[in-house]
Amino acid sequence: MCGIVAYVGNKPAQNILMQGLRRLEYRGYDSAGILVVTKNKKLKRVRSVGNVDELQKKLKNQKLAGAIGIAHTRWATHGGVTEKNAHPHFGQQGTVALAHNGIIENYQYLKQKYLANHKFKSETDTEVLAHLIEKFHAKLSLKKSVEKTLGLIGGTYGLVVISAKEPDKIMVARSGSPLAIGLGKNQNIIASDATPILPHTRKIIYLDDGEYAEITAEECQIYRLGTKGEIDKKAQKIDWTMEQAQKAGFEHFMLKEIHDQPIVIMDAVRGRLRPKEGSARMGGFNMTDLQAQKIKQITLLACGTANYACMVGKYLFERLAQIPTNAEIGSEFRYRNPVIDNKTLVFSVSQSGETLDTLVSQREAKRKGARVRGIVNVVGSTIAREADGGTYIHAGPELSVASSKAFTNMLMILTLYAVYFGRLRKMSFETGSKIIKEIQKLPGKVNQILEQAQAIKKAAKNYAGYKNMLFLGRGINYPIALEGSHKLKELSYIHSEAYPAGEMKHGANALLDPKFPVVAIATKNNLYEKMISNLEEVKARKSPILAVATKGDKKIQQLTQDVIYVPKTIEILEPVLNVIPFQLLAYYSACELKRNVDQPRNLAKSVTVE
């Protein structure tokens, strides 16, 4: 996720763009850049590593005079955090420049097919687009060049493009990454969200996927790929405050991040699925198939929510690839004498990439000769840098202290690795293909659950008054019960515990009474009947039951007070769906109890101390 802002009008562009960048900084702050078309039609650019303050410092001694420009604040995906990789990027001749949010999946192919003799200055996927548009623009108008390029791109983009040859306009395009156009008087401003726009105008058009526009100070013409002629799109009047706009209208970052999940799941798997092989491949894994086949055991290192993702990972690696796997808590692992060697593959799993206990454990594993790889969200973070390779989960910036979308994307990447290892061992092509097909359906299914947010809010109201709660799961869903309980604790401060349901009769049944509700995952999998028996026992002790169940399951209603239905998927992917109701339950319980949702008491987003 990155932030884009562009301006064309009758005022100095620099200040407007810089103010816009500040408002978009939450979308990424690895580097920032600004480009303005000067009066003599030159494209003048300044970029800097670090946040917008760093860029501002660089601009102190050089003013960018002009009334049209583009700017970008980066969340690195392809290419490290360097000034060369910062946007905007130029074409080869420096006559076209653009800023991009998203991932161009086929940039290597585009490079080879159309730009074989071009020299690139960055390691980004984005620079390829600038070169391509500029190449077409030698003969075509900017609009036609952008259209032609969009027809070739695979992946996601929010794009703003500027040309020294047509210096009065900005071309913008959207597919998968948001873009809003603010319509002003003799000025128009484009941005990744409404916040940079609101100080200038409240009339906003939100582009939909497949739409692109040609924008001058006076006009905004919108088109749709594959259809001829301008389309008629009405502007909306936006009454949001600045903060509401940054949260895309959601009340909290947490809620926004929960709703980001259908999109970021796609970002996690994009370019990594290999349908023709019934497998998956992760670019930064840095291991040959032969080396991967020799791995004898896997150790997953993490803390908190990331550890629950790893517990699911253990189940996946053992079930799909038959590799003995341990999910280890960082703060414990570092003080043990763990049995690992050079045939052990260690994955350090972390949203921030800075969690000290995970980092120190990673160092310990390296010291013992293990092969260490990161599964990390924050690009260029310490864990990512110190690992010998790995995979970014592409969840985008997660600002709420309680993790949601990073957890889901950790599950996605662990699943892809498990499929990869499985296919190197005994998993059949058919099984691999089936999993891939089901993965591709997940975003739509997550959306179906999010559509039930109001029903979950109602359920949360029923349970927020209780002092204690118990989460139950079995098999691959036991870690999801743990994560549900973890989320409820940290967001609402309600005490909760999680148990594998079959373990209840060994002690925890003693807790059950009408004041002790049970939240259970009872989806239709191979342990469904067992879970139903467990819930019969709970019901007999008069504990209220809220169940997460598979769509269409009527039987469950006889046992429960409340049911949240999730769509059917294959068992190994159930965690991705089943966690969503728990995130919403915890969120709405916290709202009901008037907690500080995005910054729960006593916690920090990144725990860099022991």
Q: What is the C-alpha to C-alpha distance for residues 193 and 180, in angstroms, rounded to an integer? A: 6
Site for ligand M6R in 480-539 (CB under 6 A): 490
Please state whether the peptide bond connecting residue 178 to the residue before it is cis, i.e. omega within 30 degrees of 0. no
**Near ligand M6R in 534-563, by CB under 6 A:** none
Residue nearest to ligand M6R (CB): 304
CB of 352 to ligand M6R, least distance (A): 3
The owner of tokens 């039609």 is 41
End-to-end CA distance of the chain: 30
CB of 220 to ligand M6R, least distance (A): 41
| 402 near ligand M6R (CB under 6 A) | yes
Give whichever of 107 and 417 is closer to ligand M6R, judged by the CB atom: 417
CB contact at 8 A, 414 and 319: no
**Distance (Å, whole) CA 134 – CA 132:** 5
Q: Is the dihedral of CA 69, 74, 76, 81 positive or negative?
A: positive
Torsion of CA 153, 114, 76, 101, to 10 degrees: -30
User: DSSP secondary structure string, 454-487?
Assistant: HHHHHHHHHHTT-SEEEEEE-GGGHHHHHHHHHH
Rama region for 176: left / alpha / beta (φ>0; ψ in -120 to 50; rest): left
Q: With both helix axes pointing from N to C terminus, report the angle between 429-450 and 405-424 in degrees, rounded to the nearest 10.
A: 170
**2, 303, 310, 591: which is the annotated catalytic residue?**
2
Query: Comparing C-alpha atoms, which of 122, 165, 176, 159 is closest to residue 140?
Result: 165
Site for ligand M6R in 421-480 (CB under 6 A): none
Cα 346 from Cα 325, distance rounded (Å): 10
CB of 325 to ligand M6R, least distance (A): 19
Binding residue for ligand M6R (CB under 6 A) from 329, 401, 449, 481? 401
Least gap, CB of 410 to ligand M6R (angstroms): 8
Contacts with ligand M6R by CB under 6 A: the residue count is 16
What is the bridge-based pairing of β-strands 157-163 and 180-183? unpaired
Nearest-angstrom CA–CA distance, 87 and 45: 9
In the complex, the smallest distance separating the C-beta of residue 381 from ligand M6R, rounded to whole angstroms, is 9
Return the number of the residue (138 or 603) whose C-beta is nearest ligand M6R.
Answer: 603
Site string for ligand M6R, 575-604 (x = CB under 6 A): ----------------------------x-
Verify whether residue 343 is a known catalytic residue. Answer: no
423 with 587: CB under 8 angstroms? no
Q: Which of residues 325-384 bind ligand M6R (CB under 6 A)?
A: 350-352, 355, 358
Q: Smallest gap, in angstroms, from Cβ of residue 324 to ligand M6R?
A: 24
Q: Is 606 an interacting residue with respect to ligand M6R (CB under 6 A)?
A: yes
User: Of 85-93, 245-253, 399-407, 448-456, which segment contacts ligand M6R by CB under 6 A?
Assistant: 399-407
Q: Given the residues 111, 148, 568, 605, select the one marked as catalytic.
A: 605
Check residue 399 for interaction with ligand M6R (CB under 6 A). no
Q: Write down the least CB distance from residue 600 to ligand M6R, Å.
A: 8
Query: Is 220 or 310 the residue whose CB approaches ligand M6R more closely?
Result: 310
Q: Interior CA angle at 100 toward 148 and 116, to 5°? A: 55
Distance CA 415, CA 579 (A): 15
How many helices (H) and strands (E) the chain has is answered by 19, 26
Q: Which of 304, 313, 397, 422 forms a contact with ligand M6R (CB under 6 A)? A: 304
Quick check: 391 binds ligand M6R (CB under 6 A)? no
Told to judge if 169 belongs to the known catalytic residues of this protein, a careful annotator would answer: no
Burial 441-461 (b: 16+ CB within 10 A, else e): ebbebbeebbebbeebbebbe
Strands 89-90 and 96-101: antiparallel
- Nearer to ligand M6R by C-beta: 104 or 494? 494
Looking at the Cβ atoms of 32 and 482, the one nearer to ligand M6R is 482
> Between residues 455 and 607, which has the closer beta carbon with respect to ligand M6R?
607
Which is closer to ligand M6R, CB of 298 or CB of 383?
383
- State the Cα–Cα distance between residues 409 and 393, nearest whole angstrom: 6
Tell me how far, at minimum, the Cβ of 393 lies from ligand M6R, in Å. 10
Judged by CB under 6 A, does residue 303 bind ligand M6R?
yes
Identity of the residue, 299 or 305, whose beta carbon is nearer to ligand M6R in the bound complex: 305
Which of 34, 86, 268, 306 is close enough to bind ligand M6R by CB under 6 A?
306
305 touches ligand M6R by CB under 6 A: yes
Name which of 300 and 556 has its Cβ closer to ligand M6R: 300
Helix, strand or coil, per DSSP, at residue 304: helix
| Residues with active-site annotation | 2, 605
What residue ranges bind ligand M6R (CB under 6 A)?
303-306, 350-352, 355, 358, 401-403, 490, 603, 606-607
